[in-house]
Structure 1
Amino acid sequence: MKKCKRIFVIVIDSLGIGEMPDAERFGDAGTNTLGHISESVDSFEIPNLQKLGMANLTPLKQVKPLKEPIGYRGILREKSNGKDTMTGHWEMMGVETKKPFKTFTEHGFPKELIDELEKRTGHKVIGNKSASGTEIIEELGEEEIATGHMIVYTSADSVLQICGNEETFDLKELYRCCEIARELTMKEEWRVGRVIARPYIGKKKGEFERTSNRHDYALKPPVRTALNVLKDGGFDVISVGKIRDIFDGEGITEGHKSRSSVHGMEQTIELAETDFHGLCFVNLVDFDAKWGHRRNPKGYAKELEAFDQKLGTLMEILREDDLLIITADHGNDPTYTGTDHTREKVPFLAYSKSMEENGVLPEQETFAVIGATVLDNFGLSMPEGTIGTSLLADLK
């Protein structure tokens, strides 16, 4: 295949396709996000993903594998020690995380951290548990407004999140408190991947609504990634969704926040109609946040069907010198126990109108083949301290 001018890497957040060999160590034996979604619904129509060979990677009840899917298809294993958003995305761009980020899903944050946060911010902490962001605002928003207390919560990801009502807590004060939390959670035993400001508006239950003034305070990747090499090489590195936040802006030349996964695909389609030279890196978070964590396979299936329709539009407008890669960052089996991510393999679907052949790729031992393939396309090499080898020579 000839070198491409533009590459689109789309991450369907949490779309695992079967347990990793070490899944039992993570408590995730028998998980299969996509396969179990298919088993949970009567109807499941994903014709464009089917064309790309998704049903050839894991059995689906309603979707038949094709004899000759277009493009190339394969399965990626995660080499890093973890199953969270940052670990997965960082690995795609070459970072192997050997020491997992801290999560506090089961019991909330330790008393020592909360005490220090209260002392430094001047606000009493309420909440301190794993919860849905919208639900905890409904539960505690009125108390926060009345008392000036501060809602702190976490999730299955390595995050510390703070809610603040823009009209009473004040946005600047919320950001100040998050900056303090970020400083505190640099300590090794409290080290979370992200601190997130979650502002909202409204005066009482039923009226609360989160605003677009969310701000993420992420850790920077420990080494230069494929994104840094692309940017330094003069190429465009366009972020859609939370990619910029995941990499703390490192290696990003242009960022677009998304209101939803459908909106993220609409943004990607709009970008495909512009003339850029480099990478468009897309994260579609609703699959994980709205359906995986909330254990809703039917909602997940409908979201995949909506994605598939937008995918068809994108594929139509792709140019001859474009390459499309579809993958995921971890699993989140909506039929499994609890609300945590699941340790799963992920799909690798690659398609270009310029491809003359199609086929199956050998199973890869790391997500980092993605970043290495992107850099190889643009005549660049992975930076020192990273992992991953290119698959570009196999895409013909």
Structure 2
Amino acid sequence: MKFNRIIVIVTDSVGAGAAPDAEKFGDKGADTYGHIDANVPLSVPNLRRLGLGRVAHIHAEATDVIGSYGLMQEISAGKDTTSGHWEFMGNPVENPFPTFPDAFPPDLLKAFTEKTGYGYIGNEIASGTEIIERLGPEHFRTGLPIVYTSADSVFQIAAHNDVIPLEELYRICDITRREVCVGPYEVGRIIARPFVGTQGHFVRTGDRRDYSRLPKRKMVFSYLSEAGYAVVGVGKIGDIYAHIGLTESYHTANNHEDMEALRTQLAVHRKDKGLLMANFVDFDSMYGHRRNVKGYADCLEAFDQELGQLLTEIHDDELLVITSDHGNDPTWHGTDHTRERVPLLVYSPALKASVDLGIRQTYADLGMTIMDNFGLTGLEFGTSFLSELR
């Protein structure tokens, strides 16, 4: 075993250029990092130190690179959170999750009404912030949850805390996951979208919950936890993996809380052996889907500042990996994710050389590397890059 602990940070949606099959997804030419930097030149010195400038299309700066770097491309039939994360851990999604470009069909919503005991308003493809503002007054008047989807395979349910209490919203989502969105309607995620405030000032809270479908393959988390290692999830990680194989999970509301939780885990549980993984969601939910280039750039720079402190807290027996689960180019048409390669940045103070890890042919190389590090076998997909690190 080379490292006692592996820390994985997923910068949600921060892609590094169109994947070879991007045209199939309508994303030929998409480039999250490149197009942000072309509009708002990025100041991300710590990411550059890890090798970002070697793999992303950002303006050149003289930088001493201390990390190893590469790109990963997805083989899953999708470009969303679930397919990306599951592929990381050895479970590529071979058949795309169902999407609803014409909104949900009547029989699905009939089942929703019968199983949950609620009717609904909405049933459309919509921006989450826009739909709660537009339908919020009707939601208050009728007491009915707001139901909507997006280009992703999601069934989203929004409710104001004063109309449908948080725990009741979670109950509705749980029923929808287990009893409504099944068979041909088994979407990737059911998402609880609680909000607060008054008309004209409705705001979504940090109490979002994702209810993922169950994977059909055993993934890295289970192999690790069954072998006695700690598997700690921060942010959306627990929801994305349906809490399977996790030994601990810490819900957070934003990127800053993600970083604070990571640093706390490093400090308090320094002797733990295993995996510590966090998903930093603000890039995607706050700026990518909203096509806010400046906000996305600011978010990347804020993350980079906090990353600088984290790098000083990584020990020799720990390996840090930073990657992304898909792209979400804020300059692109529409509001959907974009099919892109993603950065692979790897660092430990114990490593003495900066290595070009090349283009990895599947995200599952990350999971296979984790398995290799802890001497475990069982995954069907991926090639470890552990022996390439120096």
Q: TM-score, normalised by structure 2?
A: 0.94
CA distances 1:210-232 after superposition (whole Å, capped 9, x unpaired): 44543332112211101111111
Closer/same/farther in 2, CA of residues 304 and 382 from structure 1, 3 Å limit: farther
Q: 2:251 is matched with which residue?
A: 257
Q: Give distance in 1, aligned partners of 2:106 and 2:305.
A: 47
Alignment pair present for 1:64 and 2:61: yes
Alignment pair present for 1:130 and 2:128: no
Q: 1:13 is matched with which residue?
A: 12
Alignment pair present for 1:48 and 2:46: yes
Q: Give distance in 2, aligned partners of 1:356 and 1:71.
A: 9
Q: 1:220 is matched with which residue?
A: 214
SS in 2 for 1:363: strand
SS in 1 for 2:358: coil
Name stretches of at least 5 consecutive residues in structure 1 with no aligned partner.
none
1:234 to 228, 247, 261: 228
Q: 1:359 is matched with which residue?
A: 355
Q: Give distance in 1, aligned partners of 2:298 and 2:29.
A: 23
Q: Give distance in 2, aligned partners of 1:59 and 1:78.
A: 19
Q: Give distance in 1, aligned partners of 2:341 and 2:188.
A: 22
Letter in 2 for 1:159: V
Closer/same/farther in 2, CA of residues 218 and 342 from structure 1, 3 Å limit: same
Name stretches of at least 5 consecutive residues in structure 2 with no aligned partner.
none
Q: 1:245 is matched with which residue?
A: 239
Q: Give distance in 2, aligned partners of 1:206 and 1:367.
A: 42
Q: Give distance in 2, aligned partners of 1:196 and 1:241.
A: 14
CA apart distance, 1:379: 1.5
Q: 1:382 is matched with which residue?
A: 378
Closer/same/farther in 2, CA of residues 146 and 339 from structure 1, 3 Å limit: same
- Superposed CA RMSD in Å reads 1.7
Aligned length: 387
Q: Give distance in 2, aligned partners of 1:279 and 1:215.
A: 22
Closer/same/farther in 2, CA of residues 315 and 178 from structure 1, 3 Å limit: same
CA distances 1:279-338 after superposition (whole Å, capped 9, x unpaired): 111100110111111111111111000010111000011111110101000111111100
Q: 1:395 is matched with which residue?
A: 389
Letter in 2 for 1:355: L
Alignment pair present for 1:322 and 2:315: no
CA apart distance, 1:273: 1.4
Q: 1:349 is matched with which residue?
A: 345
Which aligned pairs between 1:91-170 and structure 2 lie closer than 5 A? 91-104=87-100, 106-170=101-165
Letter in 2 for 1:196: I
Which aligned pairs between 1:172-183 and structure 2 lie closer than 5 A? 172-182=167-177, 183=179
Q: Give distance in 2, aligned partners of 1:76 and 1:93.
A: 13
Alignment pair present for 1:267 and 2:261: yes
Say whether the 8 Å CA contact 2:231–2:275 is kept in structure 1: yes
SS in 2 for 1:152: strand
Q: 1:29 is matched with which residue?
A: 28
Relative to structure 2, which stretch is displaced further, 129-138 or 248-257? Answer: 129-138
Q: 2:183 is matched with which residue?
A: 187
Q: Give distance in 1, aligned partners of 2:151 and 2:309.
A: 33
Say whether the 8 Å CA contact 2:90–2:381 is kept in structure 1: yes
Say whether the 8 Å CA contact 1:80–1:96 is kept in structure 2: yes
Identity of aligned residues (%): 47
CA apart distance, 1:268: 1.1
SS in 1 for 2:34: helix
SS in 2 for 1:374: helix
Letter in 2 for 1:40: N
Q: Give distance in 1, aligned partners of 2:290 and 2:70.
A: 28
CA distances 1:152-204 after superposition (whole Å, capped 9, x unpaired): 0123332111122333334454334323322221122x2211112223344x3
